[in-house]
Amino acid sequence: MTARLLPKKDLPGFIAALAKKQEVWAPVRIQSQEAARFSRIDRPEDICLDYLNTKLPVKELFFPQREVMFTFNPGERSSAQASAQVRERVVLGVRPCDAAALELFDKVFVDESKTASPLAESKTAGPLADPYYKERRDKTTLIGLACNAPGQACFCTATDGGPHSTRGLDLLLIDLGDRFLARPVTAKGEALAKGLARAKDKDISLADELAEEARATMDFAIELKQLQKSLDKAFDHEVWHRLSLPCVNCGVCTYVCPACHCFDVTDEEYKDSGARIRTWDSCQFSLFTRHASGHNPRPDGMSRMRNRTLHKFCYFPKTQDKVLCVGCGRCITECPAGIDLRETLETLRDTLS
Amino acid sequence: MANPYQPIEAQILKTIDETPTIRTFVLKPEQDVPFLAGQFVELTVPGHGEAPFTPSSSHFERETIEVTIMKVGRATTALFGLKAGDSVGIRGPYGQRYPLESFEGKDIYLVGGGVGLAPLRSLFLSLVHEIDKYRRVFLRYGARTPEEIVYKYLIPQWEKLKKVDIDLSVDVGDKSWVRKVGVVTCLMDDIPCDETSSIAVVCGPPVMMKFVTFKLVDAGFKPENIYLSMETNMSCGLGQCGHCRLGPYFTCKDGPVLTWEQIKDIPEPFV
């Protein structure tokens, strides 16, 4: 596909043109928190493109922290289905790590063809794709923003990604100073960039140089296929006790993780209204696995910390061929106990090999 | 696009008290819920949430679905507050069925503990419906006390069925109890079928599942012929919400019935 150029001075016009046909979402600076968050854009000047990464990953636009699945009237039998209630939209300024995580979410929420079970020939009736996620995903075009200056906690190059990776994106913008190189990935992305001037060879080679420079700043590397094999045999290893001692099971790593997809479904009933609600949940909480009988298969912090690590780096790759981590580094910067996932993985590699 | 989370309505036709804490609900869904033995459904009480249950009726019975429920948590307590004529929500079926075609011509050895007989009853009745296809069906069932035995009124009828062999035990007997006393494995000292080709199916509390499985393996049952109903905390039913993870499996999607061959390498599968 043809790479194109978007001069920065033309960005407001480009966004205004997009906004005529659909909603535009992009990171906006939250002054009180010195952080950026994806928000609906009314004025192009609100967009903040000089952020390292948003506090919460872009997953919240597809899988909100809390959403109504359907409503019911107390005492009545029928329930009304809520739709995802999204309009066609462009999300601009998505970091490559967050976009790669949506590719993983597609495996969880949409592609139900893969199952670990050899009994799987028997079919379950009805659709199994998540209608709320799928509607939002289908109605969204993703414009990425390449990272020329990855942060200290970033390690996407170790997880099948990269600072200029196009995985999961429709179009990637690369900052070349006074202009962006626009690199289409899908037909949807190509259509958005159609009106822009073609990039020259020197623009493309400059983008390639920037990608190399960005990569060169990221030195964490680990052989994840090998680690997956070691982890498969390490369930009872004492290393988990050592690794989990600092962990307070607060769950923040799961909330800020672009690839964590676990949720809970609860009913909320008030005097004159009721709703079934889906909220993010975390495998770090003791209630997550507790049976109604009180029996709990993962009763302590160690088993929960181990479960999260194994899910991401052993179980998920076993069935889906990808680790459930995109190296965004949010769990590292947000952990109150100072746990660095990179160090955890290195310790596991060194101890188990 | 149809929503797999949306329950349909099912009317409660009748309830049967099995024990002081276990009740069978006979449900009539507004549309067919085409489950096959081994699969489960989610029942909803609006305002109180939903919970997963494996039906206890034969999958050849299409007009109604029976579900036997122990009153133990929020959703089941709400279910116990309902009576005949009331409605619940139902969605499903989910998970994998028993591969009954590979059971044909074989002895099938069912072992249940406590309310774990409820999901086994669905399989038992479905097998009995086509009993000529199978060699024999054995049922070994243990409860804590005679009072806590479910389907007390049905077991005498089942014992009369051809090619069916039933034995019961209780942990603690009473004056009227003339059968064996002890945990369910006390019924397994002399397994009357060919262990190398027979099928075993187990459902009960985790500790019971563990010891029954070890006993079956010791007796010579092949790991791929031991079917275990691994009931973890399931929520969505679609392999998405993450709660029911068991090693590389989501029990809601890949199970809830898994073979010992599938889970024997998972450390502590019965924890």
Q: Is B86 exposed, middle or buried (0-12, 13-18, 19+ CB in 10 A)?
A: middle
Q: How many domains does chain B have?
A: 2
CA atoms of A193 and A173, how far apart (whole Å): 10
Q: Do residues B83 and B116 share a domain? A: no
Instruction: Specify whether B220 is located in the same domain as B117.
Output: yes
B267 inside domain: no
The CATH number that applies at residue B73 is 2.40.30.10
* Tens digits of residue pLDDT in B165-190: 999 999 999 999 999 999 999 999 98
Q: What does the DSSP assignment read for A6-21? A: EEGGGHHHHHHHHHHH
The pLDDT score that the predictor gives to residue A122 is 41
Mean pLDDT for the stretch of residues B24-48: 94
Residue B249, min C-alpha distance to chain A (Å)? 6
Over 60: is that where the pLDDT of A23 sits? yes
Residues B142 and B210 in one domain: yes
* Closest CB from B44, B96, B250 relative to A119: B96
Residue B154 belongs to some domain of the structure: yes
As a whole number of angstroms, the distance between CA A129 and CA A112 comes to 7
Stretch A63-92: mean pLDDT: 83
Do residues B47 and B150 share a domain? no
Domain membership flag for residue B29: yes
Answer whether B5 sits within 8 Å of A290, measured CB to CB. Answer: no
Closest CA to B169 of B180, B158, B155: B180
Average pLDDT over chain B, rounded to an integer: 94
Say if CB A41 and CB A25 are below 8 A apart: yes
B243 domain residue, yes or no: no
DSSP calls for A113-142: ---S-TTTTSPPSS--S-HHHHHHHHTEEE
Residue among B46, B94, B96 minimizing CB distance to A267? B46
pLDDT score recorded for residue A126: 41
CB contact under 8 A, B96 and A311: no
Give the number of beta-carbon pairs within 8 Å between A and B.
Answer: 154
B167 Cβ under 8 Å from any chain A Cβ: no
Same domain for B138 and B72: no
> How confident is the model over A68-73, as a mean pLDDT?
88
Residue B33 in contact with residue B4, Cβ under 8 Å?
no
Chain B's closest residue to A108, CA to CA, is B240
d(CA A261, CA A255): 9
A31 has pLDDT over 50:
yes
Pairwise CB contact (< 8 Å): B1 & A269: no
Return the half-sphere exposure (C-beta side, CA atoms, 13 A cut-off) of residue B68: 22
| Helical axes A131-138 vs A96-109, angle rounded to 10° | 140
Backbone angles phi, psi at B218, to 5 degrees: -60, -35
Per-residue confidence (pLDDT) for residue B150, from 0 to 100: 97
Same domain, B107 and B216: yes
In this predicted structure, the answer to whether residue B159 has a pLDDT above a threshold of 90 is yes
Q: How confident is the model at residue B271 (pLDDT cuts 50, 70, 90)?
A: confident
Confidence of residue B242 (pLDDT cuts 50, 70, 90): very high
The answer for residues whose C-beta is within 8 angstroms of residue B143's C-beta and 6 or more apart is: B113, B114, B149, B150, B168, B170, B171
The shortest CB-CB distance from A127 to any of B4, B205, B259 is to: B4
Instruction: Give the single-character DSSP code of A244.
Output: H
Contact A55, A35 (CB under 8 A): yes
Same domain, B81 and B110: no
The SS3 of residue B5 is: coil
Is the Cα torsion angle B172, B176, B181, B185 positive or negative in sign? negative
SS3 A212: helix
Give the residue numbers spanning the domain of B132. 100-229
B104 and B89 in one domain? no
- For A253-271, give the DSSP string: HHHS-SS---EEEEEEE-S
pLDDT band at A3 (very low <50, low <70, confident <90, very high): very high
Question: Which chain A residues contact residue B73 at CB under 8 A?
Answer: 292-293
CA distance A347 to A327: 17
pLDDT per position as a tens digit, A232-271: 989 889 999 999 999 999 999 999 999 999 999 999 988 8
pLDDT tens readout for residues A137-193: 999 999 999 999 999 999 999 999 999 999 999 999 999 999 999 999 999 999 999
List of chain A residues whose C-beta atoms are within 8 Å of the C-beta of residue B251:
none
> pLDDT tens for residues B217-238?
999 999 999 999 998 888 998 8
Instruction: Find which of A117, A233, A254 to mutate to test the B interface (most B CBs within 10 Å of its CB).
Output: A117
The pLDDT score that the predictor gives to residue A278 is 95
CA distances from B26 to A35, A309, B69, B150 (A): 55, 43, 11, 15
Q: Is the pLDDT score of A79 beyond 70?
A: no
Interface predicted TM-score (ipTM) of this complex, two decimals: 0.88
Test B89 with A79 for CB contact under 8 angstroms. yes
Distance separating alpha carbons of residues B67 and B193, to the nearest angstrom: 30
Residues B166 and B86 in one domain: no
Mean pLDDT on B36-45: 95
Residues B82 and B115 in one domain: no
pLDDT of residue A116: 43
Q: Which residue of A has its CA nearest to B49?
A: A267
Residue B238 lies in a domain: no
Chain A CB contacts of B47 below 8 Å: 72, 74, 267, 269, 274
**Contact across the interface for A130 and B240, Cβ inside 8 Å:** yes
Provide Rg for chain A, Cα atoms.
Answer: 22
Placement of tokens 């020329």 in the chain: A148
**CATH code of the domain in which B213 resides:** 3.40.50.80
B220 torsion bin: left (phi>0), alpha (psi -120 to 50), beta (else): left
Q: Which residue of A has its CA nearest to B7?
A: A79
pLDDT digits (tens, 9 = 90+) for A309-338: 999 999 999 988 999 999 999 999 999 999
The verdict on residue B128 lying in a domain is yes
**Per-residue pLDDT at B270 exceeds 60:** yes
Reference B168, options B200, B146, B190, B191; nearest CA is B146
Same domain, B109 and B179: yes
Q: What is the pLDDT of residues A102-129, one digit of tens each?
A: 999 999 998 755 444 444 444 443 447 8
Chain centroid to CA A239: how far?
Answer: 28
DSSP state at residue A350: H
B136 domain-assigned: yes
